[in-house]
Structure 1
Amino acid sequence: MAVTPCDKSCPETSGHGLTKEDKRRGLMYIKRIRRELCTRQLSSLRGEQAKLMNQLRRSNHVFEQVRLRIRLFGLEKRMQRIRERWL
């Protein structure tokens, strides 16, 4: 069964289309939700980052410092991916 795409978009019938104000409000709402989701996901990672930074400052062992820096690097990468996804 072959499906042929229609090149013409469906015309909006009166009463079914969104007004410019509705579209603007909807886009603003989506933007706000995306920012909130990003902030919510980053908040727990920021807490973990602060904890690791404190451990790094208190650490006197070179191997532990290297391990903590690797974890911090991975955490920063995760945070960057979240920012790219939501913002």
Structure 2
Amino acid sequence: MFDSAILWLLIGAVPLAAAAWLAHDHWLAPARVPEEEIRRRADDLRARHGARAQDEAARRERSAWAELDSREQGIWRRVRRRLARDARARSGAG
């Protein structure tokens, strides 16, 4: 009985550990990047790409996804959302 309980505990721990690792890499690590860094990247994209800055941020987000870099993907997601928020604020819609 005790051996089977340990076995099921181990079997359950693997998916739980995988979910925790995914949550850390995909949401928690990018969230720890200071807002100043997000703003700097957004300003840099806006200066280099103008009206297409959101498209470039989305391209970099997809590129990070393709390279399996969850942290960088999350950072570029924040940059893309920042650019969208700034665009809405400038247009008066937000």
Could you state the TM-score of these two structures normalised by the residue count of structure 1? Answer: 0.43
Asked which structure has the greater RCO (Cα within 8 Å, sep 6+), the reply is: 1
Q: Which has the larger radius of gyration?
A: 1
Could you state the TM-score of these two structures normalised by the residue count of structure 2? Answer: 0.41
Bigger proportion of residues as helix = 2
